[in-house]
Chains A and B, each alone.
Chain A
Amino acid sequence: VQLTQSGAEVRRPGASVKVSCKVSGYSLAELAIHWVRQAPGKGLDWMGAFDPEDGERIYAQKFQGRVTMTEDTSTDTAYMELSSLGSEDTAVYFCATGGGTIYMDVWGAGTAVIVS
């Protein structure tokens, strides 16, 4: 499995951003996709995940209402959209998959999002 993410984005405060994660070597329909971010100088922050086993999307409380994760199985591409951006959302956003919802052993290269 390989994950290829979209390129860097710059947004104004209050705008939205949509990051894509293209799956190759496997079918997206069979993968749990997680989204994790790392702000400058900060740790890893799990945003949410889609579990294909039960079709459930789970979002971290701090992003509820601002984040939407979707999947296009026709193109094997997952998306993460974050709205009402603030400077605190400046970060590198990663998609990841692997051991279902248990662990993440395949990661995308990351997408830098700058809010300024």
Chain B
Amino acid sequence: DIQMTQSPSSLSASVGDRVTITCRASQSISTYLNWYQLKPGRAPKLLIYVASTLQSGVPSRFSGGGSGTHFTLTISSLQPEDFATYYCQQSHTMPVTFGGGTRVDI
């Protein structure tokens, strides 16, 4: 199985900060990398798919990049509603695998 490693596992930031989360794959996955936001008691929300395509309705302060084995999710100016846990997920090879998550706290 392809292992997905996120870093950091948690971070503290302030409203207005620029935040970058990294996701590394154990082997090349081209751009088959998606990012999700998860809040307590809610279903996951797709933010970015195929590495850099912004899902409809997601604010433009979210952006994704990378290819191969190294990927990033950037929030350009953190907003109060962005405090959540973020997961990367590869869909290059079955089984689908998720990263361990990055919790973004105030």
Contacts and interface: CB of A to CB of B under 8 A. Distances in A.
Interface of A: 34, 36, 38, 43-46, 48-49, 58-61, 94, 96, 98-99, 101-105, 107-110
A74 B1 CA distance: 34
Interface stretch (B10-18, B19-27, B70-78, B87-95): B87-95
Nearest to A45: B98
A103 B49 contact: yes
B71 to A, nearest CB: 14
Contacts, number: 64
Given A99-B49, A101-B91, A107 B32 contact: no
Nearest first, the 8 A-B pairs at minimum CB distance are A107-B43, A103-B49, A105-B46, A46-B96, A44-B98, A43-B101, A103-B34, A60-B95
Interface in B41-79: 43-46, 49-50, 55
B96 A49 contact: yes
B3 interface: no
A43 to B, nearest CB: 5
Given A43-B101, A44-B44, A105-B46, A58 B87 contact: no
Overall SS of chain A's interface: strand
B97 interface: yes
Given A109-B43, A110-B43, A102 B95 contact: no
Given A48-B95, A60-B95, 8 more contacts: A43-B99, A43-B100, A44-B87, A45-B98, A49-B94, A61-B1, A104-B44, A107-B43
Contacts of B95: 46, 48, 58-61
Given A44-B101, A105-B49, A34 B96 contact: yes
